[in-house]
């Protein structure tokens, strides 16, 4: 890889996609938000990285907002979290080197704890960051460069392989970075040839190969500063590092999380976040129907409540979206996520059986259990239209399958392959909407001659169980959105066979040497536009092997109480806590 220059500035991006408040009137709506590529720029000179954050019109201070979410997080340690709701909460309580600043339809990667998005003079091999003045941990201790070095070093520890792997992989120049260096807990550290800390305000990352995308990776939990003296080899789920505007005051596991103001957060150093309300209380357990009913009624303190991430459920959509008053409480957003049903290719090895699964899969019926078009557009590709370079393509017998399923055609395919009656172990999250969806999917597959065993799985641990290599399942739901606006964080993560492992997102366990080689070739392209075009072609090549069944380019209807102001979504498609306030 020999990039001649850093070409990340003003690149097309997939972080935020089209959205509107209350778009759509009914299940046949034509004014739905569009899933499209937006623009992200980098604040290289630091002019947009200074605080305080831009004022939100109509904002006021005071009060407590209640957020409702079906389940507690499995991890609060920034080295282990990865899901969208996890990241949203983490970004409110912990800052990192860089972060996304959203201003209307404009998104800019800025320096968060750093003065800018990083400096490199060698095409992306060396990245230097200078820390801002006045930044502190929630105990009042100054944040220093050594805290970032420790944070990155601990992320190499094998226990944390469920977190984001990019910086570790690049520093080690190996996907198996924990075998190269297994963290600092045995007394070893990364030398100055990897991470140099010349003083308390400067940290320099030295990579064996150029990675112009490094500023985007620096916005992930890997660079949340961690004090060595307060770290634990067992993890920081019970006491996550805090440097944001709020800190954890109380946490009853699986019941509630209470956040209060962090008095050591300085708004003059933060160009992104606000501290409008006195605190947040996140109540775990309510399911979408209950959340919607409470926000619809708006009784008592529920006018100060909001859904965190849940969409209005299918059975409430007509009620909410056909009532102008209720509709005004909804953010209707097309996300950058692409949902698929992953096929475990280590168990379903015959591509003809996988094609039969694709042919029989009742997308339309499954989507209807989730709200029809309000759930999102039915998909035919593995990647999202929000991805840089995405293009729709035609693969006869694959992209042109009947969205309602074609059981007779699928049955013939199974018969011809000698696999009629093929058993399918189908794992799904035991939530009301997924239960209904699973029934529709199993019915469609059984009509095609498959023998389906439905395996209900606990919602809180579904991802961890699914992401285990030996999960004893054949088919299961997966969703992926780019971790930053290039294909680097999509196809190499999901379909590179060298990245199969517990906690890794290659849920199909797909390993094709030709595809692996093609990924390496594309990663060596230094122009993100050309690289995006090649990733789009790669999508088609992977889909020929049918490692997954494309399902939906998702849409989300996030409802808030009538007294909630500043409602918008963040780069994960989750309610943006940083801008919320109470109107009165």
The confidence score (pLDDT) of residue 13 equals 35
The confidence score (pLDDT) of residue 430 equals 95
Q: Is 258 left (phi over 0), alpha (psi -120 to 50) or beta?
A: beta
The confidence score (pLDDT) of residue 177 equals 94
The confidence score (pLDDT) of residue 192 equals 98
The confidence score (pLDDT) of residue 36 equals 60
The confidence score (pLDDT) of residue 448 equals 98
Residue listed under structure tokens 């605080």 = 51
Full DSSP string of 90-118: HHHH---SEEEEEETTEEEEEESSBSSS-
Q: In the numeric block, which tokens belong to residue 21?
A: 């408040």
Handedness of CA 310, 315, 320, 321 (dihedral sign): positive
Model confidence, pTM: 0.84
Q: Could you give the C-alpha distances from 319 to 270, 367, 370, 374, in angstroms and in order?
A: 40, 18, 15, 13
- Angle at Cα 481 formed by Cα 69 and Cα 353, nearest 5°? 105
The confidence score (pLDDT) of residue 33 equals 75
Question: Which residues of the chain are modeled with pLDDT < 50?
Answer: 1-30
């Amino acid at each position: 890889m020999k990039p001649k220059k850093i070409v990340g500035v003003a690149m097309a991006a997939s972080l935020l996609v089209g959205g509107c408040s209350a778009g759509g009137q009914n299940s046949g709506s034509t004014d739905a938000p569009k899933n499209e590529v937006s623009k992200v720029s980098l604040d290289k000179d630091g002019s947009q990285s200074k605080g305080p954050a831009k004022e939100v019109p109509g904002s006021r201070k005071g009060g407590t907002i209640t957020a409702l979410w079906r389940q507690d997080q499995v991890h609060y340690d920034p080295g282990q979290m990865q899901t969208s709701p996890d990241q949203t909460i983490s970004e409110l309580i912990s800052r990192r080197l860089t972060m996304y600043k959203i201003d209307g339809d404009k998104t800019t990667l800025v320096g968060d704890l750093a003065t800018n998005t990083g400096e490199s003079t060698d095409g992306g091999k060396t990245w230097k960051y200078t820390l801002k003045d006045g930044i502190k941990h929630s105990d009042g201790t100054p944040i220093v460069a050594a805290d970032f070095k420790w944070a990155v070093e601990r992320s190499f520890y094998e226990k944390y392989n469920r977190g984001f792997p990019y910086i570790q992989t690049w520093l080690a120049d190996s996907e198996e970075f924990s075998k190269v260096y297994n963290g600092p807990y045995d007394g070893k550290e990364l030398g100055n040839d990897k991470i140099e800390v010349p003083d308390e305000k400067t940290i320099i990352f030295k990579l064996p190969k150029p990675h112009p995308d490094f500023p985007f990776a620096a916005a992930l939990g890997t660079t949340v500063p961690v004090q060595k003296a307060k770290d634990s080899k067992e993890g920081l789920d019970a006491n996550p590092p805090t440097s944001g505007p709020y800190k954890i005051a109380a946490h009853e596991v699986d019941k509630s999380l209470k956040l209060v103001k962090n008095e050591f957060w300085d708004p003059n150093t933060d160009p992104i976040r606000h501290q409008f309300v006195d605190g947040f209380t996140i109540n775990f357990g309510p399911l979408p129907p209950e959340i919607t009913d409470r926000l619809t009624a708006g009784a008592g303190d529920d006018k100060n409540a909001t859904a965190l991430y849940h969409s209005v459920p299918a059975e409430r959509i007509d009620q909410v979206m056909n009532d102008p008053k209720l509709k005004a409480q909804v953010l209707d957003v097309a996300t950058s996520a692409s949902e698929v049903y992953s096929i475990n290719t280590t168990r379903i090895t015959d591509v003809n059986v996988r094609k039969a699964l694709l042919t029989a899969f009742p997308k339309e019926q499954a989507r209807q259990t989730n709200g029809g078009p309000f759930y999102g557009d039915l998909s035919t590709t593995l990647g999202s239209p929000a991805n840089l370079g995405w293009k729709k393509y035609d693969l006869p017998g694959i992209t042109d399958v009947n969205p309602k399923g074609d059981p007779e055609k699928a049955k013939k395919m199974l018969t011809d392959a000698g696999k009629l009656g093929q058993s399918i172990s189908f794992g799904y999250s035991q939530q009301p909407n997924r239960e209904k969806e699973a029934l529709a999917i199993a019915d469609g597959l059984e009509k095609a001659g498959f023998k389906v065993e439905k395996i209900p799985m606990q919602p809180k641990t579904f991802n961890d169980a699914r992401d285990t290599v030996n999960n004893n399942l054949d088919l299961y739901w997966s969703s992926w959105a780019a971790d930053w606006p290039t294909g680097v964080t999509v196809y190499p993560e999901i379909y590179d066979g060298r990245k199969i492992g517990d906690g890794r997102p290659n849920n199909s366990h797909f390993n094709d040497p030709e595809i692996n080689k093609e990924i390496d070739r594309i990663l060596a392209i230094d122009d993100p536009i050309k690289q995006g075009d090649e990733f789009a072609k790669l999508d088609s090549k992977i889909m020929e092997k049918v490692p997954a069944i494309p399902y939906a380019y998702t849409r989300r209807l996030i409802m808030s109480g009538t007294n909630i102001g500043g409602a918008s979504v963040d780069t994960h498609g989750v309610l943006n806590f940083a801008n919320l306030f109470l109107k009165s």
